[in-house]
Structure 1
Amino acid sequence: MSSAPKAFVIHLERAAGRRASVEALARALPIESEILPAVDGLALSAEAVGAAYAGARYAPRYPFALTRSEIGAFLSHRAAWRRIVDDGLDFAFVFEDDASLDPQRFTALLAALAAERGRWRYVLLPAAGLEPAGVTLARRGDVALLRPSSPPLRAIGQAVAREAAERLLALTAPFDRPVDTFLQMNWVTGVTLLAAAPTPIRDVSRETGGTTVQRKRLGLIDRLRHEAMRPVYRAQVLARYRRALAAGADTKP
Structure 2
Amino acid sequence: MMDFFHYVISAEQATERRNKIIEHFKRWGIEPNFFQAIMGNQLSENQLKQLTQDEGLLTKGEIGCALSHLGTYRRLLETEEKCAFIFEDDTCLTEEFIAVQPKIYHFMAEQTMPSVLLLYPIRGHKKKLLTIGRDISIMRCLAGSGAYAYVLNRQAAINLLRAQTPVKIEMDAWGIYQRMGFVDLYCLNKPVILLDKVLNDNSIIDKISDRRAIDRNNASFLKKRIVKSWYDHFTIQEKMKFYKRRISRHIKELYYDDNEK
* CA-CA distance at 1:180 after TM superposition: 0.7
- Aligned position for 1:17: 16
Instruction: Report if aligned partners of 2:57, 2:219 keep a CA contact under 8 Å in 1.
Output: no
Q: Verify the 8 A CA contact 1:131 1:197 in the aligned structure 2.
A: no
How many residue pairs end up in the alignment?
230
Partner of 2:46: 47
Q: Distance in 2 between matches of 1:13 and 1:209?
A: 19
Offset at residue 154 of structure 1 (A): 0.4
Q: CA deviation at 1:24?
A: 2.9
Helix, strand or coil at the partner of 1:39:
coil
Whole-Å separation in 1 of the counterparts to 2:183 and 2:199: 33
Counterparts of 2:210 and 2:109, CA distance in 1: 44
Question: What RMSD over aligned residues (CA atoms) do the two structures have, in Å?
Answer: 3.5
Alignment pair present for 1:226 and 2:215 = yes
The answer to whether residue 143 in structure 2 is matched with residue 154 in structure 1 is no
Letter of the 2:204 partner, please give it: T
- The amino acid that maps onto 2:65 is A
Deviation by residue 1:1-45 (Cα, 9 ceiling, x = unmatched): xxx840100002232331222213432556664111101111111
Change (3 A) 1:197 1:21: farther
Distance in 2 (CA, whole Å) between partners of 1:245 and 1:145 is 23
Is the CA contact 1:28–1:103 (under 8 Å) kept in the aligned structure 2? no
Corresponding residue number in structure 1 for 2:96: 104
Say whether residues 1:124 and 2:156 are aligned partners: no
How much does 1:89 deviate?
Answer: 1.1
Shift in Å at residue 77 of structure 1? 0.1
User: In terms of mean alpha carbon deviation, does 193-202 or 130-139 score higher?
Assistant: 130-139
Q: Following the alignment from structure 1 to structure 2, what is the Cα–Cα distance between the partners of residues 234 and 171? A: 13
Decide which structure has greater helix share.
2
Match of 2:26 in 1: 27
Q: TM-score, normalised by structure 2?
A: 0.73
Using the TM superposition, give the Cα deviation of residue 113 of structure 1 relative to its aligned residue in structure 2, in angstroms: 3.5
- 2:183 pairs with 170, 191, 194, which one? 191
Q: Distance in 2 between matches of 1:133 and 1:80?
A: 28
Shift of 1:199: 2.0
CA distance, structure 2, for counterparts of residue 171 and residue 71 of structure 1: 14
Structure 1 match to 2:36 = 37
Aligned match of 2:138 = 145
Give the Cα separation in 2 of the matches to 1:96 and 1:16.
14
Cα gap change, 1:97 to 1:163, in 2 (>3 Å):
same
Gap regions ≥5 residues in structure 2: 227-241, 253-261
Question: Contact 2:86–2:151 (CA<8 Å) still a contact in 1?
Answer: yes
| Sequence identity (%) | 20
Shift of 1:202: 0.9
